[in-house]
Amino acid sequence: MQIALTELAALLGASSGVRNLTVRGVSINSRTVEAGQVFFAIRGPRFDGHSFVEQALARGGVAAVVEQGFFDSADQQLARGVRRRWGKKVVAVTGSAGKTTTKEMIAALLGTKLKVLKSLGNLNNDYGLPLALLQLEPSDEAAVVELAMSGPGEIARLARVAEPETGVVTNVAPVHLEFFDSLDGIAGAKRELIENLSPPRTAVLNFDDPQVRRFQEGFDGQVVTYGLEEGAAFRAIEVAAAVPVGWRLRLIGKAFDGEFYLPLPGRHNVMNALAALATASVFNIPEKDCREALARFANLPQRSEILTLSDQVTVVNDCYNSNPLAMERMLETLASWRAARRIVVAGEMLELGPTSPEWHRKVGRKAAESGVEWLLGVQGNAQCFLEGASEAGLPPEHLRFFPSAEAAAEFLAELVRPGDVVLVKGSRGVHLEKVVEVLKSLQKSEGRSLKPEV
C-alpha cells in the first residue's frame, strides 16, 4: 500500500493536522513497525497499543492512529477506502470448514492469468481483513479474502469493508455453537455474505449442502453451484483416490468438461477444489490453466499436510483447527490408508457451547467405526471422545486422555512404531503442533512406507 498521509487522514476523518508524507504500509505491532508505516494503537486483552506509540515512531513510523475508542472502526474505514480507490474485483470466501484451503485454491487458479492479492493465512476477522486489504497495490488485478465469524452480524460487517462482487460459501456445520442456538442460526450468519455482495453479484454455492443451497432463494444475482450431486452446475463425477496421494476426478459443467488431479488427501478437498474451479469460471480462467494449477497445488502447513518421517511413520498434520465436520472428514481420510496401526491425537473442539460433550462423543464413535486402533484425547471435553469411542467398541486400554499437548506428545513418542499413520487434529487453542514437532524429532530405522488404498 502507498498513500499520502493527508489522504489517509481524510479517509479516517481525522481532525488532527498532518504533514505531507507518504505512507507505505500499516502495522499494529510496535516491534515490527517499518519506516514509512502508520501504527494503529490497538487495545487488546493484554496490551494497550497506546503504551507503545513512542516505540513505534522511533522505529520509523510516520504517524499513529491513537484516538481511544475509535480504532475498532478506523482500520476498517481505511481498508474500505483503499479497496474502493483500487476499484477491482474481490472474491470473499466463508463457510464452517474449508475456508482457508478454498481461498488458497481460488488464488492459485486466478493467479494463472491475473496478479492476485490473497489474504495471508487466515487474516479473516475484524483486525485481519483490514490488514489484508491494506496490502493492495495498483498492479493487483483481483483479491481473494476470507471472512470468519463467531457471532451474528460479523460477516455482514466484514463484507461491507471488502465489498466483494463474488461470494463463495463452502458449507454450514456445527461450529461456534457457543454463540448460536442452532444450525439455522449459523446458516443465517453465513448467508450475510450473499446478502451483502456488491454489483455485479455472483454467489458460488455448495449444492450438496442443503443449508447453502437455499441461499439461492431471493438472490437476484448470478448463481454458480458446485458439488457431487446431480443438479450442480459444476459437478465432479468418477472421483477416485490417486496413488500415492490425492484424487482424480472428471468435472462436467458449463465451462469445464475434463479430468483433473488434486494432490491433497481427504475427499472433502474435492469439494474445496470444485468451489475454486467454479469461481475460476466466473473469471473466465481457461480449463487448461486450471488443470495445471490444481495439479501442482500445495496447501498451507498444518492443513491436510502429510509428513513421511525417516522412521516410516506417516503423520497427517491437520492441527490448525477443528470442528465436528472437519474431524469426521479427516477420520474418513484416515480410514482409506493402509497402516500397521491408525493412531489419532484428537484435541478438544472449542466453541461448541452446551452441546460440546455430545459432539465430542459423536466424533469418538466415528473414530472407532473408522478403524482407529489408538485414540488420544487432549484437553477438556476431549475426554468425551474417549467415551464415544468406548461405546462404539474401541478397547479401553487403547484410549488415553491428556490435559496438555506436551503430555500427549510424551506418551506418543513411546507408542509409535514403524508403519503407523498418525492423525493430529484439534482446535487452535490446544496447540497440537507440539505433538507434531515431537514426532518429527523421532528417528527410527525400520518400517515400511504407507500408501492410501485405492
Determine the Cα–Cα distance for residues 116 and 142; give it in Å rounded to an integer: 5
pLDDT for 401: 99
- Answer whether residue 454 shows pLDDT above 50: no
pLDDT tens digits, residue range 57-103? 878 888 888 865 544 577 888 999 999 999 999 999 999 999 999 99
Determine the Cα–Cα distance for residues 303 and 116; give it in Å rounded to an integer: 22
Determine the Cα–Cα distance for residues 383 and 411; give it in Å rounded to an integer: 16
What proportion of the chain, given as a percentage, has pLDDT over 70? 95
Most confident range, picked from 4-8, 39-43, 255-259, 361-365: 361-365
- Which distant-in-sequence residues (6+ apart) come within 8 Å of 136 by Cβ? 1, 82, 83, 86, 117, 143
pLDDT tens digits, residue range 25-40? 999 998 899 999 999 9
pLDDT for 449: 37
What proportion of the chain, given as a percentage, has pLDDT over 90? 70
Q: Angle between the 287-295 and 268-282 helix axes, to the nearest 10 degrees?
A: 150
- Which distant-in-sequence residues (6+ apart) come within 8 Å of 223 by Cβ? 202, 203, 205, 216
39-44: long-range contacts at Cβ-Cβ below 8 A with a sequence spacing of 24 or more?
A: 39/63, 39/64, 39/65, 40/64, 40/65, 40/71, 40/74, 40/75, 41/65, 41/66, 41/71, 42/71, 42/127, 43/68, 43/71
Q: How far is CA 66 from CA 22, 53, 90, in A?
A: 19, 8, 30
pLDDT tens digits, residue range 306-316? 998 877 899 99
On whether the CB atoms of residues 293 and 406 are closer than 8 A, the answer is no
Q: Nearest to residue 399, comparing CAs of 413, 385, 410?
A: 385
pLDDT tens digits, residue range 167-198? 999 999 988 788 888 899 999 999 999 999 99
Greater model confidence, 23 or 170: 170
- Pairing label, strands 374-378, 342-347: parallel
pLDDT for 14: 72
pLDDT interval class at 419 (50, 70, 90):
very high
pLDDT for 130: 94
Greater model confidence, 221 or 57: 221
* pTM for the predicted model, two decimal places: 0.79
225 alpha carbon, distance to own chain's centre = 20
- Answer whether residue 410 shows pLDDT above 80: yes
Determine the Cα–Cα distance for residues 434 and 263; give it in Å rounded to an integer: 26
Determine the Cα–Cα distance for residues 417 and 428; give it in Å rounded to an integer: 27
- Answer whether residue 451 shows pLDDT above 50: no
Residue 82 CA neighbour count, 13 Å, CB half? 31
Which domains, ranges and CATH numbers included, belong to the chain? 3-69 (3.40.1390.10), 74-295 (3.40.1190.10), 305-441 (3.90.190.20)
pLDDT for 74: 78
Q: Nearest to residue 423, comparing CAs of 312, 267, 306?
A: 306
- Answer whether residue 22 shows pLDDT above 70: yes
| Other Cβ atoms closer than 10 A to 238 | 10
- Which distant-in-sequence residues (6+ apart) come within 8 Å of 121 by Cβ? 100, 300
Give the DSSP per-residue string, 174-229. S-STTS-SSHHHHHHHHHHHHHTPPSSPEEEEETTSHHHHGGGTT--SEEEEEESS
Greater model confidence, 78 or 112: 112
Query: In the 3-class helix/strand/coil scheme, how is 40-68 assigned residue by residue?
Result: ECCECCCCEHHHHHHHHHHCCCCEEECCC
- Answer whether residue 123 shows pLDDT above 70: yes
